[in-house]
């Protein structure tokens, strides 16, 4: 009896510690394009041990659809989507992608994982609604799509996790503007409470995929560090919203990232080009291990970064 209980716990422990062996992430929307077209937005396809999830959907309705076609990536075989937060430059492609891929496979892109707060109203100063996700919810559901809201970390595929909303341990304030959000507790400054990232657990360490990183990349890595037992951060891929940050903030961020062991960095989207190179120098990364993200660039476990022509 005791032996059985011990075995059950071993099985549970192994289940919580699933390590992805084959992993690739390919960028499908960002400013710079090696293939297809660039835009102010973000999207990336994550492939982990043969399973796939689309992280964000770009800004313009057609960008990810067209770029995936140019890159010969078939999104009709991808069932799940993660939206990192409510901003239109990450959510603008969802409806087009769902409608187009549904023609090929009813289940394609039919399940979308979001962080709690993504449907909160964002009242605009001049009146009106600043959150397009509110109108998108019934439209997506009408296609047979389902939103799954997360208020904490969750494993959506074996070894592929959502952070859920991130504790703001450090005052990074990595967002633009001074919008308002209507939370259950009242109307407050919009800190993008719904912002979440994807964390993949691998033997080499954690691979963290951010959208805009509005929660702050240091806050995100701090949360991942606590959640996953202080494993080193093998790679950070995505936007970290430092394009307008002062040098001192970029240096502070770099020092923290270095302390988490960041070994690869694809700084896409709102990372900012100057900030990416400043991070690279200060963390001590190289031309091979830290690049500006481009459409078509990928990171593969065991191989590193394929930057493409223009960002190499």
Q: Which residues bind Zn ion (CB under 5 A)?
A: 87, 89, 212
CA distance 151 to 184: 14
Nearer Cβ to Zn ion, position 34 or 89?
A: 89
Nearer Cβ to Zn ion, position 207 or 212?
A: 212
| Sign of the CA dihedral running 27, 170, 284, 271 | positive
Whether 37 and 17 have beta carbons less than 8 Å apart is answered as no
Residue 197 beta carbon to Zn ion: minimum distance, rounded to whole angstroms: 12
Phi (first) and psi of residue 213, to 5 degrees: 60, 35
CA distance 66 to 49: 25
CA distance 120 to 86: 9
Nearer Cβ to Zn ion, position 30 or 110?
A: 30
Nearer Cβ to Zn ion, position 87 or 150?
A: 87
Q: Helix %, strand %, coil % for the chain, to 5?
A: 30, 25, 45
> Which 3 state secondary structure label does DSSP give 268?
coil
Nearer Cβ to Zn ion, position 205 or 216?
A: 216
Nearer Cβ to Zn ion, position 89 or 194?
A: 89
Whether 79 and 248 have beta carbons less than 8 Å apart is answered as no
| Residue 138 neighbours by CB under 8 Å, 6+ apart | none
Residue 196 beta carbon to Zn ion: minimum distance, rounded to whole angstroms: 12
The residue among 187, 165, 189 whose CA lies nearest residue 175 is 189
Nearer Cβ to Zn ion, position 192 or 301?
A: 192
Residue 177 beta carbon to Zn ion: minimum distance, rounded to whole angstroms: 10
Residue 62 beta carbon to Zn ion: minimum distance, rounded to whole angstroms: 18
Residue 250 beta carbon to Zn ion: minimum distance, rounded to whole angstroms: 18
Instruction: Please report, in angstroms and rounded to a whole number, the separation of the first and last CA atoms in the chain.
Output: 58
Following CA atoms 71, 133, 119, 140 in sequence, which dihedral angle do they give, to the nearest 10 degrees? -80
Residue 133 beta carbon to Zn ion: minimum distance, rounded to whole angstroms: 12
The CA-atom distances, in angstroms, between 101 and each of 25, 82, 94, 96, 98 are 20, 16, 11, 8, 5
Residue 242 beta carbon to Zn ion: minimum distance, rounded to whole angstroms: 12
Residue 171 beta carbon to Zn ion: minimum distance, rounded to whole angstroms: 18
DSSP labels, 164-181: -SPP--S------S--EE
Nearer Cβ to Zn ion, position 205 or 211?
A: 211
């Amino acid at each position: 009896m005791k032996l059985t209980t011990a075995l059950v716990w071993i099985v549970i422990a192994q289940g919580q510690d699933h390590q992805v062996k084959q992993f690739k992430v390919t960028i499908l929307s960002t400013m710079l394009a090696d293939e297809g077209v660039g835009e102010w937005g973000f999207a990336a396809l994550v492939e982990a041990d043969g399973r796939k999830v689309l992280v964000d959907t770009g800004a313009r309705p057609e960008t990810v659809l067209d770029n995936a076609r140019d890159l010969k990536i078939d999104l009709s075989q991808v069932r799940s989507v993660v939206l990192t937060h409510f901003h239109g430059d990450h959510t603008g492609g969802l409806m087009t992608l769902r409608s187009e891929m549904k023609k090929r496979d009813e289940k394609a892109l039919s399940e979308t994982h979001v962080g709690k707060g993504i449907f909160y109203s964002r009242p605009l100063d001049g009146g009106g609604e600043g959150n397009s996700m509110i109108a998108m919810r019934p439209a997506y559901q009408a296609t047979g799509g389902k939103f799954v809201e997360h208020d904490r970390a969750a494993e959506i595929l074996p070894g592929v996790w959502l952070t859920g909303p991130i504790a703001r341990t450090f005052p990074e304030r990595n967002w633009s503007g001074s919008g308002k959000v209507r939370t259950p507790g009242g109307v407050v400054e919009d800190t993008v409470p719904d912002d979440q990232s994807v964390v993949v657990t691998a033997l080499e360490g954690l691979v963290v995929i951010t959208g805009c990183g509005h929660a702050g990349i240091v806050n995100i890595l701090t949360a991942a560090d606590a959640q996953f037992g202080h494993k080193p951060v093998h790679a950070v891929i995505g936007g970290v919203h430092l394009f307008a940050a002062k040098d001192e903030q970029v240096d502070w961020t770099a020092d923290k990232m270095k302390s988490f062991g960041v070994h690869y960095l694809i700084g896409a989207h709102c990372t900012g080009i100057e900030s990416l190179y400043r991070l690279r120098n200060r963390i001590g990364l190289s031309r091979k291990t830290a690049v500006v993200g481009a459409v078509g660039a990928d990171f593969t476990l065991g191989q590193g970064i394929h930057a493409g022509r223009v960002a190499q």
